[in-house]
Each structure stands twice: as C-alpha cells, then as structure tokens.
Amino acid sequence: MVFLRKYLESCGCEPDLIALIRLISRQMDPIRKAFLDNQMYEHSLNASGELQAQMDTWADDHLIRVVGESGLVRELASEEQEKIIRFENSRCEYAMVMDPLDGSSLISTDLAVGTIVGIFENGGVLQPGSKLKAAFYTLFGPLTVLVVSVGKGVQSFAWDPETEHYLLLKDSFSVPEGTQYGTGGVRNEWLAPHVKVIDYFDQKGFKIRYSGSFVADCHQLLVYGGIYTYPGSEKKPNGKLRILFEANPLGYIITQAGGRITDGKQNILDIQPEKPHQRTPIYIGSKGIIEKIEEIYSLS
C-alpha cells in the first residue's frame, strides 16, 4: 500500500511542502462532512461577482484558518477573497492559490465538486503557472480523490475513511487523444473562432460531455482525453474561469500528464498574471486537439 506522504518523499519533495500538501488534503474530510449542514446559497457575491454557496464560504474560511495557523504559507490567494492574504508570521515562503470549492453551483444537484490548489516555492502568488512547484485537486465523487503533481508526472490517491490515509490509486497518467468535448458559455454569444472549433469537433463526430464543474470535467480528461473549454464571448472576452485559481493548477497537472492548455493563441501557463482574479478563455486537454485549436485560431 502506498501512502501520500511516502509517495511525496520518494519524489524528493521538501518536508515543508509535503506537510502543506498533506495538511490541505486532510481538510477534505471536514469539508465533506460540512456539506450536510451547509446546503444553502447565500445572498452574497464573491470577489468575481458570483453568488456564493454556504459551502464556498465554509470551505474558504476553514482553509484560510488552517493555512494561517500552519506557518507554512507566506501568501495566499483564494477565489473567494478579493485581496491577496499575507501571513507575516509564516516560517516558510510558499505562496498558495486556491479555489476552495470549484463547481459549487452543483452542490444543490449533488454532482461532483472539488478543491483546487497551486503552490509556488516563493515569490508570491502572481506568477505564471509554469513556475508552480506543485498543484493538486480533490474531487468529491463516489470516492474522495486527490490528484497531484510535483513536477514528476501525475498521481491519484483515494481517501480511505477507515484508516484516514490517502492510498495510491494510479501512479501515472497520460492524456489520450480522445473524442469528447465539453464547452461552457451560450452558443449565440460565442466568438467566431470558437464556433469554428466546435464545428471541427462536430465534423469529427466528437461526443459532448459537460457537467458544469471544471475540476470534474478536467478529471475525466485524464482518463478519456478530449477537451474542456470555457471560451470568451462578446460580453466577456476573457470568459469565466480564472488564471490563478483554475486554469494554472489544472493546466499544470494536465501538462504533466502529456496534455496541454491554451487560450487559443498561447499556452496559459506562460501568462504573467497582473491581478488575482484575471480571467482567461480556456481550452484544456489532449495535445493534438489543442494544436488543432491553435491552428484554427491562427487562421481566424
């Protein structure tokens, strides 16, 4: 049986990085338990102007408190917080970005949601995703799964509630080319290049799969390949998803599994973010299909 800590040690990770990844991943048990008492949607809006679920704020408050008390993180940026949080008393320089609960509009439908985390070694949170030291997400599906990359491929672990350990499920992922896609947005608001991309998928006979939870839709890319996209539109040229909290950690993981991420023109992991809540159009998934998408964009 391979445990998360042993695995991270075998990758040569620093003890403080292992402590941080374990600390956050162990909060999934309390977060999962909190769902029952926090099913409502609040009347407040988050930093991106979206309606918050009670669980968004519960998970955010909980993780900020745990991270703050750990002394492991200097800077933290959360999707639910407008400003970057600095922990002056931290003994480490790690900078962490997180979406405490991605896909939270699905809580009331009991579809899969999860937590997304990216960790930089130092230098704050406003850095390109290519500089990440580690990224992971958890997914509350039939299993509570943790998918992690510390720059040595991608591994998945499952939480065992009996022993209270994460056990290795799969120690290597390679995104296949795949023949499925999921797209966000509203069809009659799509921009011309995105319409061409979707036409290409349809001509190729691709199947549609889109749940409305980025973390869940990306997780299936690791298994089946294909593409998840949330494009820009006339009204929102930069789309909906954020570079820091969503695109970069998942882009880092999918890239580590041999896939790619692009905004249509460039690798999102190369973008220097200027502000925490900067958004970007996203195409993420199989390498060959992303190359085709960039070709369609370059000809548009």
Name the DSSP class of 210: -
Q: Which stretch binds ligand AHM (CB under 6 A): 30-38, 99-107, 170-178, 254-262?
A: 99-107
Q: Which of 74, 133, 240, 279 binds ligand AHM (CB under 6 A)?
A: 240
Q: Is 75 in the site for Mg ion (CB under 5 A)?
A: no
CA distance 45 to 51: 5
The nearest distance, CB 78 to ligand AHM, in angstroms, is 11
49 is in an annotated binding site: no
72 is in an annotated binding site: no
Nearest to 226 by CA among 207, 246, 245: 207
How many C-beta atoms lie closer than 10 Å to residue 292's C-beta?
16
The token pair at 21 is: 């990844």
Q: Where are the alpha helices (DSSP H) in 171-211?
A: 192-203
Q: Is 102 in the site for Mg ion (CB under 5 A)?
A: yes
Name the closest residue to ligand AHM (Cβ).
214
Name the DSSP class of 295: H
Q: Determine phi and psi for 35, rounding to 5 degrees.
A: -60, -40
79 is in an annotated binding site: yes
Q: Is 50 in the site for ligand AHM (CB under 6 A)?
A: yes
The nearest distance, CB 137 to ligand AHM, in angstroms, is 11
Q: Is 102 in the site for ligand AHM (CB under 6 A)?
A: yes
CA distance 162 to 152: 29
Q: Which of 176, 184, 226, 232 binds ligand AHM (CB under 6 A)?
A: 184
Task: Using CB under 6 A, count the residues that bind ligand AHM.
Answer: 13
3-class state of residue 131 by DSSP: helix
CA distance 274 to 55: 28
The nearest distance, CB 184 to ligand AHM, in angstroms, is 4
210 is in an annotated binding site: yes
Q: To 5 degrees, how large is the angle CA 175–CA 177–CA 182?
A: 90
The nearest distance, CB 215 to ligand AHM, in angstroms, is 6
The token pair at 182 is: 């999921």
160 is in an annotated binding site: no
Q: Which of 99, 217, 263, 294 binds Mg ion (CB under 5 A)?
A: 99
Q: Give 162: exposed, middle or buried? Use CB within 10 Å, 0-12, 13-18, 19+.
A: exposed
Q: To 5 degrees, how large is the angle CA 21–CA 26–CA 28?
A: 115
121 is in an annotated binding site: no
Residue ranges for the known binding site are: 79, 99, 101-105, 210, 240, 246
Please report, as ranges, the residues that interact with ligand AHM according to CB under 6 A.
50, 79, 99, 102-105, 184, 212-214, 230, 240
Please report, as ranges, the residues that interact with Mg ion according to CB under 5 A.
99, 102
Residue ranges for the known binding site for substrate are: 102-105, 210, 240
